[in-house]
A = this chain, B = another copy of it.
Amino acid sequence: MPTTTAAQRREQARVEYDAFIRSCPTNQLLDRISDKWVSLVVCALSPGPMRYSELSRKIAGVSPKMLTQTLRSLERDGILARTVTPAVPVRVDYELTPLGDSLSLLLAGVKNWAETHIEQVHEARERYDAEADG
């Protein structure tokens, strides 16, 4: 007789669903842009190219580790291009690709929605929290 039934079946469902989710383009994209630093980097780069140290200063609170990590993954995804200029102090520039520009446009849409509706969200929160108090 089976020592596992419900647990195994649920585990199975979880794995399958996980695969489904990961294969969904929307979720892949959400996973990507949801990263805390991604939108900031894309936003920072949208006016034009920037050096590593410039980004590091503009984004302020980011650690070298996270900045590099973010930059690398965005480069891998074709969102931005990395250009190394071999000099005595090495110079590295980051620049949005056309795909990156397109993404920054989408982000602008998100930003627009956020600015239009965030107040409603805040009001809803206050109502909700007020009820919780009473």
Contact = CB atoms under 8 A, between A and B. Distances in A.
Interface of A: 10, 13-18, 21, 25-31, 33-36, 39-40, 59-61, 63, 75-79, 99, 102-103, 106-107, 109-111, 113-115, 117-118, 120-121, 123-125, 127-129
A115 B78 contact: no
Given A18-B61, A99-B121, A118-B25, A75 B30 contact: no
Contacts of A35: 34
A112 to B, nearest CB: 9
Contact of A99 (B31, B110, B124): B124
Q: Which 3 A-B pairs have the closest CB atoms?
A: A34-B34, A78-B124, A17-B61
A127 B78 CA distance: 9
Nearest to A14: B61
Number of copies of chain A assembled together = 2
Q: Which of A36, A113, A115 has the most B CB atoms < 10 Å from its CB? A: A113
Contact of A106 (B36, B40, B99, B110): B110
A26 B115 contact: yes
B106 A113 contact: yes
Contact of A121 (B14, B60, B77, B115): B77
Contact of A78 (B17, B106, B107, B120): B120
